[in-house]
Structure 1
Amino acid sequence: MLMLKNNIADTIREKALWMRRRAFTMVFDAQLGHPGGDFSAIDIVATLYFGVMRYDPTKPDLAERDRFIMSKGHATGALYTALCAAGYYPEDWLTTYMQPNSRLNGHPNRNYLPGVETNTGPLGHGMPVALGIAIAGQITSSDYRTFVLTGDGELQEGSNWEAAMTAGHRRLGNLTLIVDRNRLQQGMGTEETNGLDPLDEKFRAFGWDVEIVDGHDIQALLDVLAAAPGGRSRPLCIIANTVKGKGVSFMENKASWHHGVPNAEQFETAMKELV
């Protein structure tokens, strides 16, 4: 069993590396995007799609599918590469990223792309939508799971806390929130802008179970995300400690790479590091 888990983790690492290289290429070609946030989230998204979630890319609206909502909708490089690698659409679609008439907008749109559960971009919207989806599953006694990924800066939006309070009250064991805790947002650190700590205690006070993990440790992510919700009577918040720009030395922990774009020299350096 341990060998099987390690093999899955290795596969996810390979997928995550491909996603980083492809996402950075998309941003370089378009000269638009949010690579810092893409790279802090990619290991989480890869683990969900290639080690945890139940879905069928040939049937995007399958009733039994698990649902994933990328609430930090600017991290399209992470989401689009995952959907492509999962088989929702061909790789050549990625070359159209942010081009005129492309399906791959700067923020995900479910009207254009299979596999996108809801349109996101304005921060603070994904969590309330995930709440509604989880409530629907609870009412209908469905066994699908609902996962939502938020940025930590995004938690400054009050709508998230209204949703968190309701989820705790309804004891939504089918709902998992992952917080991409890279501690940076556009311009500066989250704690300089509007402090979140102690974040774990806040969620526990709202009636959630809380796990804290290294958001780049694939095996740790697998262990906490793959746990079946059967018997869980409380929603789960996973605080994933991450590094903005993870994997590229000149991007790591730099707020400027929230929406920075590489020049040709930086692109070549990144490609040499992403091996």
Structure 2
Amino acid sequence: MRLPSWFSTHLAALRALLVFTVLLGLAYPLVLVAAGRLPGLDARADGSLVTANGRTVGSALIGQSFTDADGNPVPRYFQSRPSAAGDGYDPTSTAASNLGPESVVDTIATDPEGSTQSLLTQVCARSVAVGQLDGVDGRRPYCTPDGVGAVLAVFHRDGLTGPVTRAVSVNQAAPATPFVTYWQGVPVEPAKPGEDYVAAGGVIVPVRGDAPADPAVPGDAVTASGSGLDPHISPAYAEIQVARVARERRADPAEVRRLVAAHTTGRTLGFMGAPGVNVLELNLALDETFPAR
């Protein structure tokens, strides 16, 4: 008996569904699971977890903070780069800040909850904090000494041209003292919460200041990675932390540098990316070699 064409078509489709379900829904995942259990791959398949004294302390692939209960850096540990993933290094909220080079003006509201920092101010504040922690020059171009973006809203008599009639330090709210006293002969005012100086016609003018062109605090110390989960810091950021960590652990700085070098990875295939220092693995090595006293 010959089956109707519509029935044959549906039967063929059902057979194809069953075959691909077995191949792609069962066999393929099981092959991948089996591959992940091979020696040398099993640790990576489980998340590259790192253990110390019989307990899991983190992952070699995901960064973490080394701070106390109040969020302050623990001086005896190397510090990681900032993270914009959730509350910091949250793998369920991996993300960047999505702020770009033009984010230079803070939102200053009457209610502090409504205030937000620009990317420039975040970078400036982090640079000052790192400089104070590690005893290096925390100054950066376009940053004020107190760690906010050095940005003015400048008002001209004829809109965009003509003599300056007013200047406001948009990221410093009263009673803060503006980072410059005068701008082209006009007194500089502190910002007032809730004021939108751009909408009012102010021209945004970042002021470079006298900071060195090559800041002592490296860029990865003040910016988050794209994923917010990067477990590495640059050798330059590790270097400025060596003296502090050695002092806190009463260790020879040369020995601390030796551990840094041992936990520094080179460029992928010799030319891709940049060298990096795995912070978790380095700090665990420090605890083993120079335990806290």
TM bin (shorter chain): under 0.3
Q: Which has the larger radius of gyration?
A: 2
Q: Which structure: greater helix fraction?
A: 1
Normalised TM-score (structure 2): 0.26
Q: Which structure: greater strand fraction?
A: 2
Normalised TM-score (structure 1): 0.28
